[in-house]
């Protein structure tokens, strides 16, 4: 007979030397909070997910959570007091970088786990079976959308083995430096979606005079047609065809041909090692680093042990915790690549008078997160505990198995667009405030950090990690996430897929000037 989980304490101290604990529920004044060195009486109301001081903290002194510095006190703080933006700031401090000093051994192989996926001609395996209509420039976005809109659920009934036709449209493609960094990055994104394992075939749609020309995309992106030979993919050039109507008709005919081929594909049993998981957190709260993120991290460890690939991203949201990843880097070159991206971001934000610690968002703060260091220390938990095997540029193709970091902004649509372009066939998205994100062609599994959000937003949340606050072990929830990921990879629809969310979230990162 299974033993019922024991009730969680009123607040959780995450490391023995932490100065604060995190409230598991609202704590009224007078609540007794036990901790490693005794207990404290709460002096004022502490909202759920927020921090309560366990020890006296002097003005200017560092404050620790997760055993790490999350900021500095702006005034004297007494035990039992609420710790948040009114008395804690990020400040600046030197992280001690010790590359490759804590590289864990490879995990014990995990065998016997499979999912039912679509194996493509090049050997990669998809979790979905889409046709993509890819716009090279905003000027062809409407035509791309009109083509996809022709394929309603009623029309798609003719091809029951295809998940849908998705239009990938964006606001860029012109007014950029030809061959420059922005252009190359856009090519990586568009080519990454065209070659994606979840895409059975694609049509390219352009105006004809844009800087990001289709011919450049085909050459630099090394794009091939669906049957894998060296012939060019279907191309719709609006100016050559004579305008909108002709382009829509030509694009529709091209999609019908692709649908007939894609409908012949069937799922087959494949090992879990073929899965590429992208991880993301959005609308985070004070529970993110206690429940959903470490649980997802445990699931990530299981997938790596099974031979799969896990992508961690959001460079501004590992800032302040990057030293932990550097220590786990599998080689000095991997560590250097991560530190180079941090340095790039410091320079990039400074150009615009911004700072990397200009975070968390107002919603994050309302949920209990005070500084970027605190947010980052919780965010990196999504990647688990295995060695960091590689660091990629935004939308750069995955080239190794295991834990991989991809450089990206923290903004969810932009980050996930890069993750999918890099090859993520499935997204695990943790949220404490309640994100409703979807991202065709890759399914997005929502993991709530607290049960209140899970129940209040049950139309959009897939899993409840808030049970950890009521005593269920992180490892138990992590195992459930891992097994659910395999079910989703096999075709089980996520809540965002049931709603049809994912057509509007394609958002390539533009880093340069618009000319």
Stretch 361-366: mean pLDDT, rounded? 91
pLDDT of residue 121: 87
Stretch 321-336: mean pLDDT, rounded? 97
Task: Give yes or no for residue 78 having a pLDDT over 80.
Answer: yes
Q: Residue 383's pLDDT band (boundaries 50, 70, 90)?
A: very high
Residue 163 carries which DSSP code?
-
pLDDT tens-digit series, residues 42-56:
999 999 999 999 999
Stretch 238-247: mean pLDDT, rounded? 98
Q: Residue 2's pLDDT band (boundaries 50, 70, 90)?
A: very low
Stretch 295-306: mean pLDDT, rounded? 98
pLDDT of residue 24: 93
Nearest residue to 429 (alpha-carbon basis) of 300, 296, 319, 317 = 296
pLDDT of residue 1: 41
Task: Give yes or no for residue 204 having a pLDDT over 60.
Answer: yes
pLDDT of residue 227: 47
The residue ranges of DSSP E strands in 386-484, in sequence order, are: 388-392, 402-406, 426-431, 444-448, 463-464
- Quote the crossing angle between the two packed helices 244-262 and 141-149, to the nearest 10°: 50
**Domain extent listing, the chain:** 11-89, 130-262, 274-436+446-485
Radius of gyration of the chain (CA): 24
For the record, the structure tokens of 419 come out as: 């993750």
CATH class (in words) of the domain with range 130-262: alpha beta
CATH class (in words) of the domain with range 11-89: mainly beta
Stretch 444-462: mean pLDDT, rounded? 97
Q: What is the mean pLDDT of the chain?
A: 95
Predicted TM-score (pTM) of the model is 0.95
Instruction: Tell me the C-alpha distance between 43 and 496, whole Å.
Output: 42
Return the residue matching tokens 């899970």: 454
Q: Residue 122's pLDDT band (boundaries 50, 70, 90)?
A: confident
Residues 6+ apart with CB under 8 A from 347: none
Instruction: Tell me the C-alpha distance between 497 and 222, whole Å.
Output: 30
Q: Residue 116's pLDDT band (boundaries 50, 70, 90)?
A: very high
Instruction: Tell me the C-alpha distance between 323 and 493, whole Å.
Output: 37
The residue ranges of DSSP E strands in 174-317, in sequence order, are: 199-206, 235-237, 268-271, 276-281, 309-312
Count of residues in the chain: 515
């Amino acid at each position: 007979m299974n033993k019922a989980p024991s009730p969680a304490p009123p607040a959780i101290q995450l490391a023995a030397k932490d100065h604060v604990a995190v409230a598991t529920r609202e704590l009224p004044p007078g609540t007794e909070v036990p901790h490693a060195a005794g207990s404290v009486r709460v002096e004022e109301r502490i909202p759920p997910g927020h921090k309560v001081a366990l020890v006296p903290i002097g003005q200017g002194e560092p404050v620790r959570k997760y055993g790490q510095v999350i900021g500095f006190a702006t005034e004297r703080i007494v035990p039992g007091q609420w710790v948040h933006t009114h008395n804690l700031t990020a400040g600046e401090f030197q992280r001690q970088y010790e590359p490759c000093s804590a590289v864990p051994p490879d995990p014990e192989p995990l065998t016997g786990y499979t999912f039912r996926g679509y194996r493509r001609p090049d050997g990669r395996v998809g979790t979905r079976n889409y046709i993509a209509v890819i716009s090279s420039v905003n000027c062809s976005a409407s035509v791309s959308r009109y083509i996809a809109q022709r394929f309603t659920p009623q029309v798609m009934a003719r091809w029951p083995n295809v998940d849908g036709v998705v239009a990938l449209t964006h606001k860029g493609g012109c007014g950029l430096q030809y061959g420059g960094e922005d252009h190359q990055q856009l090519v990586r994104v568009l080519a990454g979606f065209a070659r994606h394992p979840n895409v059975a075939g694609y049509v390219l749609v352009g105006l004809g005079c844009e800087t990001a020309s289709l011919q450049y995309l085909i050459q630099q992106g090394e794009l091939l047609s669906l049957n894998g030979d060296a012939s060019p993919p279907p191309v719709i050039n609006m100016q050559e065809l004579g305008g909108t109507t002709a382009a829509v008709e030509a694009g529709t005919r091209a999609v019908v041909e692709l649908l007939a081929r894609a409908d012949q594909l069937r799922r087959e049993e494949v090992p879990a090692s073929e899965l590429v998981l992208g991880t993301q957190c959005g609308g985070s709260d004070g529970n993110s680093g206690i429940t959903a993120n470490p649980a997802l991290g445990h699931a990530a460890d299981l997938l790596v042990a099974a031979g799969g690939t896990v992508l961690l991203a959001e460079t501004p949201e590992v800032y302040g915790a990057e030293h932990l990843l550097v220590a786990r880097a599998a080689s000095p070159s991997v560590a250097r690549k991560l530190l180079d991206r941090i340095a790039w971001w410091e320079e990039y934000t400074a150009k615009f008078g911004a700072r990397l610690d200009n975070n968390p968002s107002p919603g994050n703060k309302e949920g209990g997160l005070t500084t970027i260091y605190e947010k980052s220390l919780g965010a990196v938990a999504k990647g688990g505990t295995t060695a960091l095997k590689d660091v990629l540029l935004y939308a750069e193709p995955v080239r190794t198995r295991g834990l991989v970091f991809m450089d990206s902004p923290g903004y969810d649509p932009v980050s996930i667009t890069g993750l999918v372009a890099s090859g993520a066939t499935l997204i695990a998205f943790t949220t404490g405030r309640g994100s409703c994100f979807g991202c065709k062609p890759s399914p997005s599994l929502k993991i709530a950090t607290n049960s209140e959000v899970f129940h209040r937003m049950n139309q959009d949340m897939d899993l409840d990690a808030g049970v950890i606050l009521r005593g269920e072990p992180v490892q138990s929830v992590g195992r459930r996430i891992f097994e659910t990921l395999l079910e989703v990879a096999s075709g089980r629809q996520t809540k965002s897929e049931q709603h049809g969310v994912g057509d509007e979230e394609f958002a390539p990162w533009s880093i340069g000037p618009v000319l």
